[in-house]
Structure 1
Amino acid sequence: MSESDLLVARNVKRLRGERKVSMSALALQAGLSKQTLSKIEQGVGNPTLGTIEALSMALGTSVRSLMTEWGSPVRVQSSSAAEWQSGLGGDIRILDQVYGSGYVRSCMVRLEPSGHDRARDGLSAGSIYQVLVISGDAEMGPEGQTVRLAAGDFVKFPADVPHILRAIEGTVVLHLITSFPQVPQVMPFGDPR
């Protein structure tokens, strides 16, 4: 299974679910067999560009939206499990890769402990945080799924849901990368995002 096949699988399954369309109905609309659609949603279908185009039309979206990462499961990479590779005249630690289109903001963040741990509001649909803890101990992640991190730990999680970024004790310094999709996602009526 390639990463791009898994990406298409996640997006087709998610969009079909959001639109409350059965697998049979989507397959018929896209001119595919139900078995072919099932394989695509499992990430083992290796769809052609023509198949992706047919699915995007049947789902009322663009090919680009099927090839763009929307949201993300929480993924932690502890400093003790980090793998370093030689390259670029030194050692490289790959933290993550994001596929799709949009824009990326990279910044350093200093957090101080505060008396309130209220979750922050989610960002625009499809936004993702990738965080490397430079120093200190922090807690972060989607509300109800936070993880505790120390210096050198990395986490990736959806930023489009209520989430927490907080220092546990003392000053925490983070390298925070925020990815915002360029392609607007189809949203229910009345949703301001």
Structure 2
Amino acid sequence: MTHGDDRRRAVGARISALRTQRGLSLSGLAREAGIGKGSLSELEGGHRNPTLDTLYAIAGPLGVPLSALLGEESGTEGAGPHLAARLLHVEHHDDGSVTEVFWLRVTPGGTRESPAHGAGVVEHVHVVSGHLCAGRAGAEHTAGPGESLQWLSDTVHTYRSDDGALAVLTIRSP
């Protein structure tokens, strides 16, 4: 048994518990997330390694931040095409909102499309190196080293870098 097996099982258990708490069937969550029922079943059983895109697709209908699925352990990583994210910190605020802080590595040459997050979720990215074009699909902006971008992420949004970028991303969920 490897650490990866343990991680997959832990993520699967979190998805299953949250789905059950919200009264969603396996079919219902799969439909809302836009993934196959079999794929969701394999994820919940810890038999499939989830991609970052899949976790975001599941987090949206469950109304939870990504860290609710990944876990809140610093250093937890998720990756998808053209983007890797490493969790640095999760802060739970008195008003019930959550701020997640990630270290992002955006690889050159492709666009990473992120599904919509819940209502009122705000993303703020601060570019450390390279150049990053990011934001709501169709309304992206570019930032270079030392510059920041912010957008409401309740709709599809994208990340792209032609030269590769490193950045700090904060996601605040109400």
Structure with more relative contact order (C-alpha pairs < 8 Å, separation 6 or more): 1
Instruction: Indicate the structure (1 or 2) with the bigger Cα radius of gyration.
Output: 1
Same fold (TM over 0.5): no
TM-score, scaled to structure 1: 0.39
